[in-house]
Amino acid sequence: MAESEEEVDVLVQRVVKDIANAFKRNPNIDEIGVIPCPEARYNRSPIVLVENKLGVESWCVKFLLPYVHNKLLLYRQRKHWLDREALVDITCTLLLLNPDFTTAWNVRKELLQCGVLHPEKDLYLGQLALTKFPKSPETWIHRRWVLQQILDQFLAVGHNKNQEQQGEAEQANAERSQQLSDHLARTLHQEMRVCSDAACRYPSNYNAWSHRIWVLQHMAKGNGKVFHDELSSMRLWVSMHVSDHSGFHYRQFLLQELITEHYQTPASATINGSSQHWSSTVPSSSPHQHSCTQTNGELSGAEAASEDDGQLSFTTVLQLFQQEIELCSDLIQSFPGHETLWSHRRHVFYLWNQWKREQQHQCSSRGDNKSIHLNDSDPGMSEVSPQSYAGREESVNGQRHASEPMEVDRVSLPNPHDSKRLKRGVLLPGTLTLTSEHSFVNSILDSCCNPEQRRFAVAYKKWLDTVIGLQS
């Protein structure tokens, strides 16, 4: 098409305006796309809004992109002036067409810093770009930057609050802090949705999943309930995406965080009585129950993690592992030949083995610490030795006082039967051991003739023998 420069100029400016107006007309646009359409149709804008979908007719993209691209670069070289509104519109068009154009995101960062743009607006633009380009690294990078701004704002208010304040100022700050905290929770929730959406649009989407991990690490640090809820809600998702290695890795990350950051080690559990509650009220898991939203009996997030700090008990951790390996066995049997599932099994078993060894180590070293501690404080407490646990169930069923150090200390210890079994290498019935893993592999090899499944099973066996075998 041999259009003159001025014609292109007029056309493009109209299209950029049309896009900006479409967003003003419908603030709920939730997807973008290019509509295949080789020729322009007279008197019709190439910008089409159908319900909440914004489409650009393909014929105009070829004019549109180079034009807005060059305009922005001229601005960046101070060869061409653009006012703030024009910058907002141009970068929006540009990034919806080419979201990896780093410099355009940077221009928006500057606009955001001087208050022309709201963080939410940019998160929204990125979300739209991801509907068409779910991997776009620069879009995810920009999101992290915007989220960091929101977090910094939150931290700044928190810092203010710590300073001595009186009366109205104090109250106003408390309100502001509450607002921000709610806002942060909503942002976190929304971010999880954006990640899920991108993960569904592109399988094993590394950028989406590593972003999700970043978000938890930065926005949910120390919040065991969030980690637990994530683990529960991901269960169904991974069951429906058995080839998605990134989705399974996310589960591995959650599991690891839960057992390292949120497991209340008996040694450190001297003030918190709540972990006891979970160890005594969460019943042992029943096999073959894998619903992701169970609230009765199984470990839903709210139940397994205590309300205040989300700490997990010893038994809860055992159940987490047991449920994970059961899920893995079910999926391996139902969907033979998936490397992802076998890789997941390796990770879960590895984590389990590592955790078990740490507990054994702590068990043995705790015995010594305990006797020293007991001798120092109260000779009566020497009853609280792992051997005197027979009456534990009775005592925890009665009313307890969290302020009573002995009681609290005592109930937070793992079940002595568990630790004895742990030392012998046989834990709860059906729990994970090298032997149980070998019999799982053998049962697969005995019953399955899918060559891929057999190949992965043999590789897993070899992995158990070498990597795990060398460790234990």
Partner 1 sequence: MGTQVKDVIIKPDAPSALLLDKHADYIAAYGSKKDDYEYTLSEYLRMSGIYWGLTVMDLMSQLPRMNRQEIIDFIKACQHDCGGISASIGHDPHLLYTLSAVQILCLYDSVDAIDVDRVVEYVKGLQQEDGSFAGDKWGEIDTRFSFCAVATLALLGKMDMINVDKAVEFVLSCMNFDGGFGCRPGSESHAGQIYCCTGFLSLTGQLHQVNADLLGWWLCERQLPSGGLNGRPEKLPDVCYSWWVLASLKIIGRIHWIDKAKLQTFILACQDEETGGFADRPGDMVDPFHTLFGVAGLSLLGDEQIKPVNPVLCMPEDVLQRIGLQPDLLS
Q: Which chain residues interact with partner 1 by CB under 8 A?
A: 61-62, 65-66, 69-70, 73-74, 76-77, 98, 100-103, 106, 109, 138, 141, 144-145, 148, 204, 206, 209-210, 213-214, 217, 243-246, 249, 253, 256-257, 335-340, 343, 346-347, 350-351, 450, 452-453, 459, 463, 467
Euclidean distance between CA atoms 213 and 192, whole angstroms: 10
Is the Cβ of residue 18 or residue 261 nearer to partner 1 in the bound state? 261
Is the Cβ of residue 76 or residue 420 nearer to partner 1 in the bound state? 76
Nearest-approach distance from CB 128 to partner 1, in angstroms: 19
Is the Cβ of residue 389 or residue 456 nearer to partner 1 in the bound state? 456
Is the Cβ of residue 51 or residue 339 nearer to partner 1 in the bound state? 339
Nearest-approach distance from CB 86 to partner 1, in angstroms: 17
What secondary structure does DSSP assign to 253-320, as a single string?
A: HHHHHHHHHSB--GGG-SS--HHHHHHHHSPPPPTT---TT--SSS--HHHHS-TTT-PBPHHHHHHH
Which residues, in sequence order, are CB contacts of 69 under 8 Å at separation 6+? 94, 98, 101
Secondary structure of residue 32 in the 3-state scheme: strand
Which two structure tokens, joined as six digits, stand for 458? Answer: 């043999």
What secondary structure does DSSP assign to 68-109, as a single string?
A: HHHHHHHHHTTSS---HHHHHHHHHHHHHH-TT-HHHHHHHH
Is the Cβ of residue 363 or residue 464 nearer to partner 1 in the bound state? 464
CB 147 within 8 A of CB 49: no
CB 272 within 8 A of CB 264: yes
Nearest-approach distance from CB 228 to partner 1, in angstroms: 17
Nearest-approach distance from CB 17 to partner 1, in angstroms: 21
Euclidean distance between CA atoms 447 and 462, whole angstroms: 19
The torsion angles phi and psi of 400, rounded to 5 degrees, stand at -120, 160
Nearest-approach distance from CB 209 to partner 1, in angstroms: 7
Is the Cβ of residue 79 or residue 401 nearer to partner 1 in the bound state? 79
Query: 461 vs 253, 337, 341, 442, CA distance in Å?
Result: 23, 15, 14, 9
Nearest-approach distance from CB 216 to partner 1, in angstroms: 9
Which residues, in sequence order, are CB contacts of 44 under 8 Å at separation 6+? none
Euclidean distance between CA atoms 143 and 140, whole angstroms: 5
C-beta atoms surrounding 414 within 10 Å: 22
Nearest-approach distance from CB 169 to partner 1, in angstroms: 32
Nearest-approach distance from CB 123 to partner 1, in angstroms: 16
Is the Cβ of residue 213 or residue 381 nearer to partner 1 in the bound state? 213
The torsion angles phi and psi of 216, rounded to 5 degrees, stand at -65, -40
Which two structure tokens, joined as six digits, stand for 210? Answer: 């590593």
Secondary structure of residue 429 in the 3-state scheme: coil
Is the Cβ of residue 138 or residue 326 nearer to partner 1 in the bound state? 138
**Angle formed by the axes of helices 119-132 and 167-201, nearest 10°:** 10
Secondary structure of residue 336 in the 3-state scheme: coil
Is the Cβ of residue 108 or residue 370 nearer to partner 1 in the bound state? 108
CB environment 303-331: b (16+ within 10 A), e (fewer): bbbbeeebbbbbbbbbbbbbbbbbbbbeb
Nearest-approach distance from CB 98 to partner 1, in angstroms: 6
Which two structure tokens, joined as six digits, stand for 274? Answer: 């709540």
Nearest-approach distance from CB 217 to partner 1, in angstroms: 7
Nearest-approach distance from CB 33 to partner 1, in angstroms: 17
Is the Cβ of residue 245 or residue 370 nearer to partner 1 in the bound state? 245
The torsion angles phi and psi of 263, rounded to 5 degrees, stand at -80, 125
Is the Cβ of residue 98 or residue 362 nearer to partner 1 in the bound state? 98
